[in-house]
């Protein structure tokens, strides 16, 4: 019984640590972009399927930019300026905006750790 308690505590700690280091990217659809005005946009997928990746500074959504409504502005990974109309965007990949991490992908690694901990203890 004591071994199981130690294994459970070990798994809880590992799950917490790996959850904090998880992926911090979020993919949203076109309609959601205006709700993330402070988010750093890492890339956008256009309606024609073309993917435009921004540099490390990311892109930014503006409700109005140089008299153009609803655009995403930034420098591409190749260093070119980009002003993309939101109507031309299918989806956008954002840097984490809430500070929270999605742990849905951690089930199987956690299950593996539980198995290893149970075998060792």
Report how many domains make up the chain: 1
Q: With respect to residue 63, please indicate whether it lies within any of the assigned structural domains.
A: yes
Give the domain CATH number at 97: 2.30.30
Please check the confidence at residue 64 and state whether its pLDDT lies above 80.
yes
Q: With respect to residue 43, please indicate whether it lies within any of the assigned structural domains.
A: yes
Inter-axis angle of helices 2-20 and 107-120, nearest 10: 150
Close Cβ partners of 63 (under 8 Å, ≥ 6 residues apart): 34, 37, 69, 70
Lowest mean pLDDT among 3-17, 33-47, 50-64: 3-17
User: H helices then E strands: how many in the chain?
Assistant: 2, 7
Q: With respect to residue 111, please indicate whether it lies within any of the assigned structural domains.
A: no
Tell me if 94 sits within 8 A of 36, measured CB to CB. Answer: yes
The parent domain of residue 77 ranges over: 23-102
Q: With respect to residue 7, please indicate whether it lies within any of the assigned structural domains.
A: no
Q: With respect to residue 52, please indicate whether it lies within any of the assigned structural domains.
A: yes
Residues 22-47 have a mean pLDDT of 74
Q: With respect to residue 6, please indicate whether it lies within any of the assigned structural domains.
A: no
Lowest mean pLDDT among 19-28, 32-41, 96-105: 96-105
Q: With respect to residue 80, please indicate whether it lies within any of the assigned structural domains.
A: yes
- The pLDDT, as a whole number, for residue 49 is 92
Identify the CA nearest to 46 among candidates 35, 59, 36. Answer: 59
Positive or negative, the Cα torsion across 104, 106, 112, 113? negative
Split at pLDDT 50, 70, 90, the class of 66 is: very high
């Amino acid at each position: 019984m004591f071994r199981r308690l130690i294994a459970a505590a070990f798994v809880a700690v590992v799950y917490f640590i790996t959850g904090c280091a998880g992926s911090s990217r979020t993919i949203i659809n076109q309609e959601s972009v205006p709700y993330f005005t402070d988010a750093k946009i890492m890339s956008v997928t256009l309606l024609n399927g073309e993917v435009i990746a921004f540099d490390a500074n990311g892109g930014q959504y503006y409700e109005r930019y140089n008299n153009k409504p609803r655009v995403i502005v930034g420098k591409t990974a190749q260093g070119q300026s980009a002003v993309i109309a939101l109507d031309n965007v299918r989806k956008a990949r954002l840097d984490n905006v809430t500070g929270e991490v999605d742990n849905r992908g951690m089930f199987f690694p956690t299950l593996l750790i539980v198995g290893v901990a149970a075998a060792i203890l």
